[in-house]
Chains A and B, each alone.
Chain A
Amino acid sequence: MNKNKDFSKNEAKKLLLLATLSGRIMLKNGAETYRVEDTIERICKSRKGVKYVNAFSTPTGIFVSIEVGEEMLSYIMRIKSTKIDLNKINLVNEFSREFVNSDMSIDEGLKRLREIDKIKDYRPIINYFAGGLSCGFFSLLFQGRLREFLSSFLIGFIVVLIVNKLNKYKMTFFINNFIGATVASLTAILISKIGISQNINTMIIASIMPLVPGVAITNAMRDTISGDFVSGLSRAMEAIFSALAIAFGVGLVLNIYFRGIL
């Protein structure tokens, strides 16, 4: 029904808001920028009466303008604080497909999007265990034995817990990674002092894995390939600086350790 009648200005405004909100949820949770732009344009074009739509997005902001009737509307949204939540990207993707292919009213769509935005991710304790699990088994990939497995499990658990707590204070990713890597190497050295395992290398390598910038590398490449060079470059910078933060954190502790202070 909606598809066949022209919009009032108010409805056009709501449509623009809906499209930008869906883009915001995706971008905030670590989607590629071309997917964000594509979703916004699809959502706007799906309703009749929208003559022209164009969206531009970088990892830190969304700019959309649409032409409805005789008027031009535009919307700028600044994005702060990014985290990784693949589930929300997936849900918004499904939502946009459903919205485009059905007669869903805009108010209904806005309601659904707000619900998606509120969904909680896995409970923290599950996250900590997942961190421990991934670190523990990663140590086995590097020729670790049972002792390294158990100690890497413990270190991974602690690192993910601390990074999770630090996220609440909204510090930059640099500080988070730095502190995470410092804690990982400190705990590894502590464990070797207690005498559970002497293999510090394997333990530290395994327990910095939850911090490495895999998402930034992947998104940087996917953005660059699709022609978004600004986003690609800024995400590559993020990857480089995350790696540097981890290296500094580990290097600091090792430096102190080799001087015999610890």
Chain B
Amino acid sequence: MMEIIKQVLFAFISTVGFSILFTTPKDSIIKASIVGSAGWGIYYITQLIFNNNIISTLFASVSVGIIGELFAKHYKKPATVFIIPGIIPLVPGAGMYYTMLELVEKNYYAAADKGTETFFIAASISIGLIISTTLSTSIKRVKNKN
């Protein structure tokens, strides 16, 4: 439990840094960091349950997308303001690094293994964003009809 709180806290401060790098508006930095730390928290917890990077990235990116869209609707700002800093911690930088490391050490099987995993993590970020964006646009459409 302590470990989860620590991870969420570190992810929060990390996302504050990324938000400043992307020049997020001053009043949205904390909100974007909440999105990022929630995403990382869900990533960490689902990883403990499923022990699978790809599935937990999917869950995390869906929740980043949904929370980002909700915040965007509530604070009347473009959704990307919240989603972009929130999605960065999920991008498989570690996977890219390990793929390259195995390639350099000429462990081609391990490199293919890591590379495929990295590719699928990137794909699951995309699918997560697709799911959340589609959900929010279709909800908007239904609401507009009524």
Contact = CB atoms under 8 A, between A and B. Distances in A.
Nearest to B101: A254
Nearest to B96: A247
B13 interface: yes
Given A133-B14, A141-B10, A141-B11, A219 B80 contact: yes
Contact of B87 (A90, A141, A205, A217): A217
Contacts of A137: 10-11, 13-14, 17
The B contact surface, by secondary structure, is helix
A87 B81 CA distance: 8
Interface in A124-145: 126-127, 130-135, 137-138, 140-142
Interface residues of B, number: 50
Interface string B108-131: 000000000000001001100110
A220 B129 CA distance: 10
A221 interface: yes
A179 to B, nearest CB: 16
A255 B6 CA distance: 35
Interface string A242-254: 0100110011001
B77 interface: yes
A249 to B, nearest CB: 9
A86 B20 contact: no
Interface stretch (A48-56, A60-68, A206-214): A206-214
A190 interface: no
> Among the interface residues A215, A221, A254, which one has the most CB atoms of the partner chain B within 10 A?
A221
Contact of B80 (A86, A130, A142): A86
A42 interface: no
26 contacts: A32-B80, A84-B23, A84-B84, A86-B25, A86-B81, A130-B16, A130-B17, A130-B19, A133-B13, A134-B15, A135-B17, A137-B13, A141-B10, A209-B18, A209-B89, A210-B18, A212-B88, A212-B96, A217-B122, A217-B125, A217-B126, A217-B129, A221-B126, A225-B137, A250-B97, A254-B101
Given A86-B22, A86-B78, A201-B98, 14 more contacts: A88-B23, A89-B80, A131-B17, A134-B18, A137-B13, A141-B14, A205-B94, A208-B93, A209-B88, A217-B125, A217-B126, A218-B129, A225-B130, A246-B96
